[in-house]
Amino acid sequence: MNIHPLALVSPEAEIDPSVQIGPFCVVESGVKIGPDCILENRVVVKAGTILGARNHIFEGTVLGGLPQHVRVPERRGGLVIGSGNVIRENATVHRALEEPHATVLGDDCMLMVNTHVAHDCRLGNQVILTNNAMLAGHVTVADRAYLSGAVGVHQFCRIGTLAMVGGQAHINQDVPPYVTVDGVSSLVVGLNAVGLRRCGLDPAKVQQLKAAYRVIYRSGLMWKEILEILRTEFGFGPVAAFYEFLSTTKRGIISERRMPPNATLKIKPREEEEKSQKTLPFRQARAAG
């Protein structure tokens, strides 16, 4: 076991012999750290935290801190982190509020500098949180979702699989799977085309996602009608995630941005357009004269 002499490691922590722990780290009792993990300088791993294999934790990170809550019970929950994750400088991931619950981080995720994951959050696999992204308590982030810099997510919200949230967005409702949220307006602006391409989804399945997206955002149907169409016509394959997600929402879903709020090109009413066409030859004649 490679533990720097300036690290403070409890003898009651369970640490695999292959783990590397740098100077000024603190590992409390009750911690479990799996094979091939690396803790750089000044990492704090607090009681109730379980780390899987091959996690790389960078300077200043605090894992398993107490929930930021006005009521912290005596018997607190835990923090369970999977394998292959990269957690960069000064990130904070808090343990769950109370037993037997746990804050959960899946496998192969990246939490960049200054990210915050609050108590009772659940992150899937291959999730990316970019610098200064903040998750309030009880937030769920599904597999391969991407949250850009300085995104703030309200408590109890859900981010669907392969969703992409733009920088500085304010998320106060659920973000459906596969969509992109614009950072300026905090509204949906279409499917996450780049993410879908990178995950290797074939064109036929992408077309199904587009058709389902139009039902959700552009059909003008009632909510129950939308759910019924998603259930009956889009119930198989990746597109089925839409029904699974929307049928269980409690906060509603982010709306679509149909027209950019700061657009400079305005669409003329039909009457003005016809009037403009009638006077066009006259203006051209004056210009020529």
Would you please indicate which residues are annotated as catalytic (active-site) residues? 119-120, 137
Phi, psi (rounded to 5 degrees) for 94: -95, 150
Spatial distance between the Cα atoms of 22 and 2, rounded to a whole number of angstroms: 8
Residue 166 near residue 181 (C-beta atoms within 8 A): yes
Spatial distance between the Cα atoms of 207 and 133, rounded to a whole number of angstroms: 31
Spatial distance between the Cα atoms of 211 and 234, rounded to a whole number of angstroms: 9
Residue 189: count other Cβ atoms within 10 Å of its Cβ.
18
Q: What letter represents residue 139's amino acid?
A: V
Q: Which tokens is 131 given?
A: 């610098």
Q: Which tokens is 147 given?
A: 């949250």
Phi, psi (rounded to 5 degrees) for 11: -65, -15
User: Which residue's structure tokens are 């899987």?
Assistant: 52
171 forms bridges with which residues in the sheet?
A: 153
Backbone dihedral region for residue 135 (phi beyond 0: left; psi -120 to 50: alpha; all else: beta): beta
